[in-house]
Amino acid sequence: RVVVGKASGSAPSWEKVAGAAHDVAVGSDGTVYAIGVKKTSGGYQMFKRAKTDSKWTRIIGGALRIAVAGTEAWVVNDKGGIYVQSGTRWRRVSGPAAQDIGASAKGVWIIGADDKIYQRVGNDWKLVAGKAQRIDVDQDGRPWVVNNKGHIFVHDNNLKWQRLPGAAKDVAVDARGAAYVVGTSGGVFVFNGTKRDWDRISDDKDSVAIGVGGGQVWRISKTNETYQFR
């Protein structure tokens, strides 16, 4: 929907954006990438839109999950294959079969099909202790994960997993270090470092995926509707 006559200084809310999606990620420059709903080889069609654009542009290829390392998109397809954007095409990256991928300008991590966690080191993948099903990476290269019980963890500077309060379905972290989750009830929350807890940012109850970056917050509903927080 388009908000008309919204008062200056009014509380931000979710604006519905044209286009249906399964997953969304945002680059540090504000470019938004989405995994659509129309099936194609590799999973579903992919799209992107610049921060200043109002329309989606189709990207070649298909995938299930997407992340952005700075301004470089990475995807996982329906066979667990890992690909990185190279110009207008995709380059295959060898590695274990993956179910999710997280990235920032400081690093790329994946969740294997067996829930194992891997860090990209040089041209290889380093196995890291722990298991999870959803992952993203913050501005310091630290992964934030959600496991199969919905438990939320961040990998600290002592190379240990630190459990955070709450439970979630998905997690996303922007270049400024702000971490967001989709709670198990479908609401969206942002981490409050002072309280060491999560603050709810809206009353929605239908979210399943979230993507943040470039000063933007996007979510996907359980019916594949796409929203931006404004």
Q: Residue 136 CB: number of other CB atoms within 10 A?
A: 29
Level-2 CATH architecture, domain 14-229: 6 Propeller (2.120)
Q: Any idea where the domains of the chain sit in the sequence?
A: 14-229
Q: Given this model, what pLDDT does residue 158 score?
A: 78
Q: What is the mean pLDDT of residues 49-55?
A: 95
Distance CA 116, CA 201 (A): 31
- Which residues lie across from 26 on neighbouring strands? 32
**pLDDT tier, 194 (very low <50, low <70, confident <90, very high otherwise):** very high
pTM above 0.85, yes or no: yes
Q: What is the pLDDT of residues 104-136, one digit of tens each?
A: 999 999 999 999 999 999 999 999 999 999 999
Q: Which long-range contacts (CB under 8 A, 24 or more apart) does 145-150 make?
A: 145/111, 145/117, 145/171, 146/170, 146/171, 146/181, 147/115, 148/115, 150/184
Query: Tens digit of pLDDT for each residue in 87-108?
Result: 999 999 999 999 999 999 999 9
Q: Map residue 36 onto helix, strand or coil.
A: strand
At 46 the three-state DSSP class reads strand
pLDDT in the model for residue 7: 37
Q: Which two tokens stand for residue 171?
A: 């997690």
Separation of alpha carbons 43 and 180, rounded Å: 26
